[in-house]
Structure 1
Amino acid sequence: MDSQRCVRTGLHYASEERIQVTWSPDGRIDSLLPGEGEETIWIAPGLIDLQINGGYGYDLNSLPLTTDTVIQVTRRLWEKGVTLYYPTVITNGDDEIEQILRVIDAACLEDERVGSTIGGVHVEGPFISSEEGPRGAHDSRFIKAPDWGLFTRWQAASGNRIRILTLSPEWPNAADFIRKCVSSGIVVSIGHTAATPAQIREAVAAGATMSTHLGNGAHLTLPRHPNYIWEQLAQDQLWAGMIADGYHLPDSVIKVILRAKLTKTLLVSDAVYLSGMPPGEYETHIGGDVILTPEGRLHLARKPELLAGSAMMLLEAVQRLAESGLCSFPEAWDMASMLPAQAMGLTDYDGLKRGARADFVLLEKREGSLRVLETVKDGHSVYRAEG
């Protein structure tokens, strides 16, 4: 890489000062200096999506899964400013989950840049609640109690890439299972749960540090208090993942989560393969028959009040949250970049700082939307917009 390609100039996404970012061929930021120019191009850390099932017609949970599907998903995410993501493998048969994990691992080995963009795998289920509501759109046929032998088999199939596990602590011996996961370097996230407050507290004491799409994957009606949502909000050790697509959570609930969790709030897309697709009726692995409305709401055909994942990518979720007035644009961006890195213990993903990985995006702010002009991953330009 020549020195010309190692320099970018733009407005810092948070300070709004014009900066010049330089980086070395090893993919680390060398310096941030005052920049020159008049263009209104913004520079921001790359987005990190901790929960995504696919997009643009590419489904990471349907078999047969190919390495090309994983590669194509990754390339489309570069177009949306994502420089690190955790493909999310949801509730399925034991063998099917193993097959999917093997393909993701093979894709990482086949394409080095794809491998560096996949920070790990997020396994969401099948160790979740079997109850209607908390189960969400997950297939009840495959839900089961936590099984360490099965999980280690999956971990081996993944090439040791499983980094996040969503489970419900309502199962007997869940705390022991959580401790084994944590000692193995797995981030345990509480989700799709009907657990009691005591079980939530026991899970946190065992090492759970995250809540999966808090406020969703829940009963439609809950006791006013206590309940598992209040309890997770009250646990300071838990990072709160949330979907800010305008359908999963009302703005009033997002406001409460932001106030309760302060700087421990994470934006995730929870995008399924229908993200970026036209409205209509579809069939999905999770949920079966679903309907994508013209407004972008994705719900079960049999039960419209239950959502079947999100059809909005992380970039658009950041824009929507910032426009809601609940937080500033830099705060919304950090919830989808800097804070996920902190939640995952990724100390070298430190944003726009000297010595940090050169993972960043160049943006153009248009009225009501954000346009990614370029995505830089590990110091390499992996996407440039045409025109």
Structure 2
Amino acid sequence: MTTTIKGANYKTGDSIEVQIVDNLISQIVGHPSENSSQIIAPGLVDLQVNGFKGIDLNSGELTEDEVIQITQFLWEEGVTAFLPTLITNSSAKIESAIDAIVQACDKKVLVGKSILGIHLEGPFLSKEDGPRGAHPMEHIQNPDWQLFSEWQERSGNRIKKITLAPELPGAVEFIGRCAEVGVLVSLGHTAASPEKIQEAVKAGAKMSTHLGNAAHLSLPRHPNYIWEQLASDELWISLIADGFHLPESVIKVFTKVKPNTSILVSDSTKFAGLSAGTYSSHIGGDIELSTEGRLFMKRSPELLAGSAQSLLGCVNHMMKSDLANLPTAIDMASLKPMELMSGTLQKLNSKSPTDIVVFEKGKSGLSVIKTFKSGQLVFTR
């Protein structure tokens, strides 16, 4: 079966025709096109998804059908690969969520291909207010290799990324063991000293989770754990560029320091994709979603209650705020996350896996027209 896609190359703007044969790109050729508003780009890759459109991956009651449904919702947003993110919780609820993800991957082939693995964000995090963020104190604990191994076995080795605080007892040794078995270790929700961060990097940590967030409101000028992670050449960083989590000046500085090792994540909650209004959260109580997309605590409006943007929303914010041009913003949300996860830089070229999105460029940014996962059309507008 042959499928043909026409539009502008997201990198160059040149009109191209992409031909897909047997779910692989067979060739990409120049093709005169009158529709310059349609853009062909690689599928977006979100390494931090907590929920979307009313589905909460951390509710404790997650079902395989909900995992399938959230994958389909993300296809509509141009996300062709993602890491379901399980936050700090009881062992029973984490195990239940792992089971639902495994069952969904086994049930639907394209869902299994879309889920790159599981991101475990906790429970090995700082207990300090600020760095802990919204993670429940009662389930925070020190790194436990036996417990992690049990979860990993239960998942069928699907845990591919873990966020932890390197200052915890036993954390550096834990990081080394994760690195040995190919689990990406990301530093986050941490109050670590610069020395401890350096130890973690030497042990094999490769990333910083949503740098600049989950931090104390006030820090020493220097040294501090944000500067130290930013200065570490070995660490990639992820950024929540939703327009609310980080000021534009901070994003500009971070991406200038790490122009080739910065990626975008949504860190989306179940409230992403919903209409503005008041909602109830099992973590924060009553929360408010504004018409602008800001999610905050109803009783403390100055405090965010998580992200309500998709990864595509972050791409559009980067462009709208002149923080990145179109090719760079898309790369930060597609090729770069895949490079981090796989260690190789993939490009949109012949014989490559066919995760493609056709975007339309309008006044408000990019919107999705079609999404192809592994060469199959999974969404069309």
User: Shorter chain as normaliser: what TM range?
Assistant: over 0.9
Residue 25 of structure 2 is aligned to residue 29 of structure 1: yes
CA distance in 1, matches of 2:93, 2:259: 38
Determine the C-alpha separation between the residues in 2 that align with 1:326 and 1:296.
Answer: 19
Specify the alignment match of 1:371 in structure 2.
367
Equivalent residue runs for 1:332-343 within 5 Å:
332-343=329-340
TM-score normalised by structure 1 residue count: 0.96
Distance 1:97 1:74, change over 3 A: same
TM-aligned CA deviation for residue 302 of structure 1: 5.0
Aligned CA distance change for structure 1 residues 279 and 14 (closer, same or farther; 3 Å) = same
Query: Cα deviation per residue 1:296-332 (whole Å; 9 max; x = unaligned)?
Result: 2112345443322200001111011111112211111
Deviation at 1:189, TM superposition (A): 0.4
Does the 8 Å contact 2:45/2:79 carry over to 1?
yes
Query: Which AA in structure 2 matches 1:361?
Result: V
Q: What SS does structure 2 have at the residue aligned with 1:305? A: coil
Where does the alignment leave 5 or more consecutive residues of structure 1 unmatched? Answer: none
In the alignment, structure 1 residue 38 sits paired with structure 2 residue 34: yes
Alignment partner, residue 85 of structure 1: 82
Residue in structure 2 matched with residue 52 of structure 1 by the alignment: 49
1:101-122, CA deviations, whole angstroms, 9 ceiling, x for partnerless residues?
A: 1110110001111110001111
Aligned position for 1:262: 259
8 Å CA contact 1:192–1:218 kept in 2: the answer is yes
Which amino acid in structure 2 is aligned with residue 377 of structure 1?
K
Q: Is the 8 A contact 1:136 1:306 kept in 2?
A: no
Normalising by structure 2, what TM-score? 0.97
Task: State the Cα distance separating 1:170 from its structure 2 match.
Answer: 1.0
Shift of 1:350: 1.6
User: What residue is the counterpart of 1:133 in the other structure?
Assistant: 130
Greater CA drift, 96-105 or 284-293: 284-293
Query: Is this contact kept in 2: 1:175–1:202, CA < 8 A?
Result: yes
1:341 partner SS: helix
User: 2:320 aligned with 1:320, yes or no?
Assistant: no
Matches within 5 A, 1:61-80: 61-80=58-77
**Counterpart for residue 14 of structure 1:** 11
Distance (whole Å) between structure 2 residues aligned to residue 289 and residue 188 of structure 1: 33
Q: Could you tell me which amino acid in structure 1 is paired with residue 364 of structure 2?
A: G
Q: Please name the residue that 1:149 is paired with.
A: 146
Q: Please show how residues 201-220 of structure 1 align to structure 2 within 5 Å.
A: 201-220=198-217
Asked whether the 8 Å contact 2:162–2:184 carries over to 1, the reply is: yes
How far apart in 2 are the matches of 1:240 and 1:9? 34
Percent identity reads 50
Match of 2:342, SS state, is coil
Q: Is the 8 A contact 1:136 1:307 kept in 2?
A: no
Deviation at 1:30, TM superposition (A): 1.8
> Could you tell me how far apart the structure 2 residues matched to 1:175 and 1:346 are?
22
Count matched residues.
Answer: 380
Residue by residue over 1:244-270, the C-alpha shift from the partner in whole angstroms, topping out at 9 and shown as x without a partner, is 011100000001101111110000000
Q: In 2, distance between residues paired with 1:286 and 1:24?
A: 47
- Show CA shifts across 1:177-221 (max 9, x none): 001111111000000100111111111100000110000000011
How big is the shift at 1:63?
Answer: 2.4
Kindly indicate whether the alpha-carbon contact (under 8 Å) linking 2:320 and 2:365 is maintained by their aligned counterparts in 1: no
Looking at structure 2, the residues matched to 206 and 214 of structure 1 have their Cα atoms a distance apart, in angstroms, of: 20
In structure 2, the CA distance between the partners of 1:205 and 1:288, relative to structure 1 (3 Å rule), is: farther
Amino acid of the structure 1 residue aligned with 2:346: D
How many angstroms apart in 1 are the aligned matches of 2:359 and 2:291? 27
After TM superposition, the structure 1 = structure 2 runs for residues 173-212 of structure 1, keeping only pairs within 5 Å, are: 173-212=170-209
Please tell me whether the aligned partners of residues 363 and 371 of structure 1 are also in contact (alpha carbons under 8 angstroms).
yes
Which runs of 5 or more structure 2 residues have no equivalent in the other structure? none
Give the root-mean-square deviation of aligned CA atoms.
1.3
4+ residue segments displaced more than 6 Å? none
Q: Using the alignment, how far apart are the partners of 1:96 and 1:19 within structure 2?
A: 48
State how far apart, in whole Å, the 2-side matches of 1:98 and 1:303 are. 33
Instruction: Please give the per-residue CA displacement for 1:152-173, whole angstroms capped at 9, x wherever unaligned.
Output: 1111121211101000001022
Structure 1 letter corresponding to 2:363: E
SS of the residue corresponding to residue 128 of structure 1 reads coil
Distance 1:287 1:152, change over 3 A: farther
TM-aligned CA deviation for residue 64 of structure 1: 1.4
2:278 matches 1:287 = no
